[in-house]
Structure 1
Amino acid sequence: MSNIVLCALDVSQPEHEKPVLLRAAQIARLDGARLDVMTVVPDFGASVVGSYFSPDFHEKAIEKAQADLSAYVTEVLGAEVDHEVRHIVATGSVHEEVLRAAGADKAGVIVIGSHRPTLRDYFLGPNAAQVVRHSTCSVFVVRGD
């Protein structure tokens, strides 16, 4: 089906992301595909909010996200699998960065989690819905609480 499976995770909510990562690893294994695991750090630099952070805040946030992502993959899938996984940390809007990474690497499938929508999600649209709506490849949504 695909030579690349892109798994989008929110490393700040590991308890909700475990089924997503496990399903992505299963799909990659079944397809003989490479597993790319990504997370997205918000971009505060260009906003008024950004002026309240130190100049090196973004670099530190990227480093922490990279370390958290690798540690989480190791915890859930094991160190042997983590060694084979490509880790991606992007900055910006979650759905835009997931779509950008999938397009750039020509991913065959995106695996992303979804949660029970809140009232806010009905107005803004959750990331999973945006990815499904705008992706040019297949999207597997792992439904959570």
Structure 2
Amino acid sequence: MPSDTSLILCPVNLRHVQLNVTAYEEAKAMARRREAKLLVATIAPEMERNLNIRDSASYWEEQLKSFVEQHPAEGIELETVVRLGAVHRQIVKLADERNVDLIVMESANPRVQDYLLGTTASHVVAHAKCSVYVVRG
């Protein structure tokens, strides 16, 4: 039976989360206003550059759990998910698979100041079937 609750996807780049959580905060506010469920995702590389990380999925699941604990979402139904692969493709794929109503994401890597929209955000905007809200950090 389909749910009447809308679903908001907020991809979080945990490698840069200490720099900016603006999109996540905006996604929480939108979820509260819409009484929507919030799906917080992080995308990990299939091949980790950090040789100390042996099990990428488990490592990033723990990092995402810690992030959510440090940035609680009181009053919001929240689910976390970790995907492996290319960030831009996995965001679109996850949104399609879960029939997401809205994606709320950062505009670019916080260190990249020369682009209006980052390559990941550009790909998601161009290929997602749902609305995409891009937040400037």
The reply on whether 1:36 has 2:39 as its aligned counterpart is: yes
Aligned to 1:104: 97
Superposition deviation, residue 135 in structure 1? 0.8
Any gaps of 5 or more consecutive residues in structure 1?
none
TM-score (norm 1): 0.77
* Conserved? CA contact 1:98–1:131, under 8 Å: yes
Matched AA of 1:69: L
Pairing 1:17-36 to 2, within 5 Å after superposition = 17-36=20-39
Deviations 1:36-81 (A, max 9, x none): 0000011128xxx8xx969x82xx2211211111111121225x56
Q: Higher mean Cα deviation, 92-101 or 36-45?
A: 36-45
Say if 1:74 and 1:81, in contact at 8 Å, map to a contact too.
Answer: no
- The root-mean-square deviation of aligned C-alpha atoms, in Å, is 2.8
Structure 1 53/16 Cα, relative in aligned 2: closer, same or farther at 3 Å? closer
Paired amino acid for 1:143: R
Greater per-residue helix proportion: 1
- Counterparts of 1:5 and 1:17, CA distance in 2: 19
Q: Which moved more, 1:105-114 or 1:9-18?
A: 9-18
Asked if 1:64 is matched to 2:63, the reply is no
After superposing the two structures, state which structure 1 stretch, 69-78 or 99-108, moved more.
Answer: 69-78
Other structure's SS at 1:86 match = strand
Give me the identity figure in percent: 26
1:133 pairs with 2:136: no
Find the aligned partners of 1:65 and 1:5 in 2 and give their Cα distance: 20
Distance in 2, Cα, partners of 1:136 & 1:17: 26
CA–CA distance in structure 2, aligned partners of residues 89 and 70 of structure 1: 10
Bigger Rg over Cα: 1
User: Do the aligned partners of 1:132 and 1:139 also contact (CA within 8 Å) in 2?
Assistant: yes
Q: Partner of 2:70 in structure 1? A: 75
Q: How many residues align?
A: 131
Give, in whole Å, the separation in 2 of the partners of 1:132 and 1:2. 23
Q: Tell me, in whole angstroms, the C-alpha distance in 1 between the residues paired with 2:72 and 2:92.
A: 24
Please list every run of 5 or more consecutive structure 2 residues that lacks an aligned counterpart in the other structure: none
The 8 Å contact of residues 2 and 107 in structure 1, kept in 2 or not, is answered as no
